[in-house]
Amino acid sequence: MTIAPSQSYQHLSFEVADRLALVTMNRPARRNALSLEHMDELIDAFRTIGRRSDLGAVILRGNGPAFCAGHDLSEMTGRSPEFYRHLFDTCTVLMETIQAIPQPVIAQVHGIATAAGCQLAATCDLAVAAEDARFATPGVRIGLFCSTPMVALSRAVPAKKALEMLLTGDPISADEALAYGLVSRVVPAAELEQATQALAAQIAAASSVVVGLGKQAFYRQLSMPQHQAYAYTKEVMSFNATFADAQEGICAFLEKRPPRWGDR
């Protein structure tokens, strides 16, 4: 894969390769802890990606020994209530931005994903984990319950397992994370990068306008009662059927040829 450098940041790198965006958290000495500046940069990177119609998928990964160790505790001592509110407001904006952009975001998880790092993995649309990865929400052990990570965790993992993780702080293995729905796939560590890029490339090969519509509809219908969800999604699908790419895809299937997407 040929990677071309894109925008420059202090705490992360943002690169593009073909139709893929690769966002690499780059605070290895802090295990990619989410400082306020780091989160601001991630928000900017994801918003930039969201405005680009030429990018079909995103990989979020971490440089160094860990995916992400959560919030940077070194900036969380002796601060005002206003600072903490701003910190967690920014974290919430980051998580909501990941799910709001049209491109699917895939977490490439190695090492540890703890507290807000576990929240980050749970928030991404998909997650591929190395066999030796570990996931935890250990805030209770330092007197700061993982309340905002709980939002993403409890929407990805069954309630009793999520609450067990939150109440004990004990880590779970990658295989447990897969069994409970926190990650999509588990692969040998040596194959993590290749497997994640293959999944991203497969997604990016589809019509980006169709994928973006589908991602938006997925999150909107989740909280709806079934009858309302069907009423909403039948309108989405009817609208989708009028797209040039939908007509191209149907014709290509009937004619037994590869589709030629126009992303419209």
47-79 residue pLDDT tens? 999 999 999 999 999 999 999 999 999 999 999
- The per-residue pLDDT for 28 is 97
Handedness of CA 64, 183, 76, 164 (dihedral sign): negative
Residue 2: the pLDDT is 42
Q: Which residues, at least 6 apart from 261, have a Cβ–Cβ distance to it below 8 Å?
A: 206, 207, 208, 245, 248, 249
Structural domains of the chain, with CATH: 4-204 (3.90.226.10), 208-254 (1.10.12)
Rounded Cα–Cα distance for residues 238 and 261 (Å)? 19
Q: According to the model, what pLDDT value does residue 263 have? A: 87
For the chain of 264 residues, list the mean pLDDT of each consecutive stretch of 10. Answer: 60 94 97 98 97 96 98 97 98 98 98 98 98 98 98 97 98 98 98 98 96 97 97 98 96 96 90
What pLDDT was estimated at residue 7? 62
